[in-house]
Structure 1
Amino acid sequence: MSLGLRPLARVLPRRALFPLARPGEHGLVGGSFGAGNYRKCVQRWTLPGGAALSMGDGRTPLLLVLLLRLWSLCFAYHSDPADGTTGHLKREHTLVKPYQSAGSSERALWDIIGNTMVTSQQVRLTPDQQSKQGAIWNRVPCGLVDWELQVQFKVHGEGRRNLNGDGLALWYTRDQLKLGPVFGNAQNFSGMGIFIDTYYNEGKKTDLQYPYVSVMVNNGTLHYNHERDGRRTSLGGCPIAIRNVKHDTFISIKYAMQQVTIKVDAEGRHYWKDCVEIRNIQLPTGYHFGASATTGDLSDNHDIIAIKVYELSVERSEEERFQDWSNVIPSAELILEPEEDEDAEEKKKHQDEYEEKIWAIKFFCLVFFSMLAVVVLAVGCAVFIIRRQEENRKRLY
């Protein structure tokens, strides 16, 4: 993470310009910048020659104003040296402690639905109870062409390993505030969903490790198959060990130049780790950011600690700068092929089930009529023997 304040490097040493983060680190620690961190930041600003700046040393107010300005820029600016993108924090799409922008008031920026509870420490989408659903949605549609979504979250509960579920999802979709079976959101959504699935439903042996992050882009026609963990409609993903850990966990979803890049920090190192990169993704502007979660027979606490959205500065052609991105239809390369494969597999499954039923009926009929023939034969033999015996008696008399 760099702050883009190169002109100040001549006044302040490099060590003072980066008091809280190293290159490559993210800035979502704690979801907000508290007073304790502020004091630490102030104590580390030094001028050449050893002169210190602090809140209580009686220095000129001009230096204090400069310090406060630098502090605000630090946490409103974002840079990724890996791909050269830079961005600015969009506060209308941001949710941080103490979550004053969430609720039902007219001035709120985030709506809650279902079993979601807002506290001073987290937004709990679902409690650790069975059959719960909850979601939080940004009211303001996103007009950004290139953006990055950073989320700090926590998944924890009393259930033992492999006895917890179901997971949570992060959304960029057209519709909002609709509860449903897709991690608390409706089926056949239009947009993109990032699923953090904590329970393996399919039952077959798999090389995938759970919890697992997967990506799905939908134009409203695809169906997420929960029983198969959306395997046929997934565009890619990676495992992420985030349940019941003591440190903070983070995920970054970057959409730039029709490419989705996901990075995670699940080890508490405050350093992004590559998850998956998917090209040829088309997403329109004007959709909404959101997060949802669900529990079934198994449960967990699904908490959102912070959500931050950055507008990315990406070099584009003159034509792209004036293009109307709001009419773009969500799409991904070969997005329809998994659906066709799934339909074929479903048909084959139904065909196999039908053939099993027919075979069972045939077997039952064979057994039934065989037993009936045996009974009829036995009765016929008995009648024949009885009549023969009666004829023999008549001859004797």
Structure 2
Amino acid sequence: MGDGLYLSPAESTAYRHWDDRTHSLFSPYVDSSLQNKFWDYGGDAIVDTNRYVILTQDRRNETGWLWSRLPIDMTDFEITVEFAIKGQGTSTSGDGFAMWFTKERMQGGPVFGNRNRWHGLGLIFDTYPNSPHRGFFPRISAVKNNGNVDYDLNKDGENQDMAHCNMQLRRTPTETRLRFTYIKDVYMELALQTQEWNKWTSCFRISPYEFTDPPYVGFSASTGEVTDLHAITSVWTNKLVYHSRTPADLENERLRAFSDSSSNTWWNKKDDSDARKRESSSLFQMLKRVIFFIVWVIKWLLLLVFLGGAGYLGFKYYKKNTPNPYKNRRMMA
């Protein structure tokens, strides 16, 4: 696994995958009664049957959610979600959205439209920094909670996450998708598609969170003083079936899964070297643009000076070599 590419476990010979329609969602999303057999939506969420389920519009102070009606009772699974974050804001936008795997469902609150002190795992896509941080935003993190810990919104959950990465999610050259893979007792991984269709970049790969109960799957989003449209286009869930799950198989799979854990294509809170590289690259690109602009200005200034000088010399030459009719009339008189 190199060059920032992500290999789905479904492509491995150790697995087979089966579609799970109870936790999948596609257009038109609802039936004639505006309901879905396997999903509920609420808050400020609305359904655009041709495009997506909008969790929040690009308006202030909205919260919306989308939750599965059934818990995801699978040992190993993979969920691919196409989502959209967009709006009119260019310099500031927010607040973000989250994907949840929790014991409870449909309980609104301050954490991107969901309750605080949840039981389970949250994948948080935070697009607006409430305080200074290393690295840039958006910041994508995995945060677990046993129901007793307050998520620190003022610090954007800093030092509360299991792992995180930083990645651009707005104005991307292709549709944005996430792929969350959970292999019990082996690993869990979040990968994202942001630059090219079906080209995945790993955000993090870590030891899996242990669910005490089969979790519901949910999505929620919120806006405040800054705004964005947050929407879910599709959810595709697959059950992953091991050909064998002996202790030796699991240990071999763990060794294989973390064989390149030092690779800079896996960004986590213990090694954000790749994020620093991307920041350096962004600064380098910005410096290149500034230098190009300065060279462009100097080039045009020199051209204008040259044209002005040529025009002035031409005028002087013309004046010198053109007879003065008034002077000629005086001489004739």
* Common fold by TM > 0.5: yes
Give the one of 79, 83, 94 matched to 2:10: 79
1:288 matched to which residue of 2? Answer: 216
Higher relative contact order (CA 8 A, sep 6+): 2
Give the one of 165, 171, 176 matched to 2:94: 165
Unaligned runs of at least 5 residues, structure 1: 1-22, 27-77, 319-397
> Is the 8 Å Cα contact of residues 142 and 285 (structure 1) preserved in structure 2?
no
Cα–Cα, structure 1 residues 266 and 293, in superposed 2: closer, same or farther, change >3 Å? same
Q: Which moved more, 1:276-285 or 1:118-127?
A: 276-285
CA distance in 1, matches of 2:75, 2:34: 28
> Is the 8 Å Cα contact of residues 79 and 181 (structure 2) preserved in structure 1?
yes
TM-aligned CA deviation for residue 101 of structure 1: 6.3
2:226 matched to which residue of 1? Answer: 298
TM-aligned CA deviation for residue 172 of structure 1: 0.7
CA distance in 2, matches of 1:308, 1:125: 18
1:242 partner SS: coil
1:180 matched to which residue of 2? Answer: 109
Give the one of 123, 131, 156 matched to 2:86: 156
> Is the 8 Å Cα contact of residues 102 and 112 (structure 1) preserved in structure 2?
no
TM-aligned CA deviation for residue 240 of structure 1: 1.7
2:19 matched to which residue of 1? Answer: 89
1:349 matched to which residue of 2? Answer: none
2:321 matched to which residue of 1? Answer: none
2:22 partner SS: helix
1:194 matched to which residue of 2? Answer: 123
2:57 matched to which residue of 1? Answer: 127
- What letter matches 1:160 in structure 2? T
State yes or no: 1:235 paired with 2:166: no
Greater helix proportion: 1
Cα–Cα, structure 1 residues 104 and 113, in superposed 2: closer, same or farther, change >3 Å? same
1:237 partner SS: strand
CA distance in 2, matches of 1:184, 1:244: 23
The alignment of Structure 1 onto Structure 2 pairs a total of residues equal to 244
CA distance in 2, matches of 1:111, 1:278: 30
Unaligned runs of at least 5 residues, structure 2: 248-333
- For 1:254-273, list aligned pairs within 5 A: 254-258=181-185, 259-273=187-201
CA distance in 2, matches of 1:217, 1:139: 21
CA distance in 2, matches of 1:168, 1:186: 13
Give the one of 214, 224, 235 matched to 2:141: 214
TM-aligned CA deviation for residue 209 of structure 1: 1.6
Cα–Cα, structure 1 residues 25 and 122, in superposed 2: closer, same or farther, change >3 Å? farther
RMSD across aligned C-alpha pairs, in angstroms? 2.7
> Is the 8 Å Cα contact of residues 102 and 108 (structure 1) preserved in structure 2?
no
Query: Which structure has the larger Rg?
Result: 1
2:71 partner SS: coil
TM-aligned CA deviation for residue 84 of structure 1: 4.0
Give the TM-score, by structure 1 length.
0.57
TM-aligned CA deviation for residue 85 of structure 1: 3.4
Cα–Cα, structure 1 residues 101 and 227, in superposed 2: closer, same or farther, change >3 Å? farther
CA distance in 2, matches of 1:295, 1:102: 30
Give the TM-score, by structure 2 length.
0.68
TM-aligned CA deviation for residue 254 of structure 1: 0.9
State yes or no: 1:311 paired with 2:239: yes
1:183-218 deviations in whole A, cap 9, x for unaligned?
A: 11000000110001101111x3x3222111100111
> Is the 8 Å Cα contact of residues 95 and 101 (structure 1) preserved in structure 2?
no
Cα–Cα, structure 1 residues 145 and 25, in superposed 2: closer, same or farther, change >3 Å? closer
1:253-295 deviations in whole A, cap 9, x for unaligned?
A: 1110232111111113311111101115211442100100000
TM-aligned CA deviation for residue 316 of structure 1: 2.1
1:139 matched to which residue of 2? Answer: 69
CA distance in 2, matches of 1:95, 1:157: 24
Identical columns (%): 28
TM-aligned CA deviation for residue 219 of structure 1: 1.2
CA distance in 2, matches of 1:174, 1:103: 28
CA distance in 2, matches of 1:103, 1:133: 23
CA distance in 1, matches of 2:164, 2:126: 11
- What letter matches 1:134 in structure 2? G
- What letter matches 1:252 in structure 2? R
1:224 matched to which residue of 2? Answer: 151
- What letter matches 1:125 in structure 2? L
TM-aligned CA deviation for residue 138 of structure 1: 0.4
Cα–Cα, structure 1 residues 110 and 221, in superposed 2: closer, same or farther, change >3 Å? same
CA distance in 2, matches of 1:237, 1:116: 27
Cα–Cα, structure 1 residues 135 and 237, in superposed 2: closer, same or farther, change >3 Å? same
1:49-79 deviations in whole A, cap 9, x for unaligned?
A: xxxxxxxxxxxxxxxxxxxxxxxxxxxxx82
State yes or no: 1:98 paired with 2:14: no
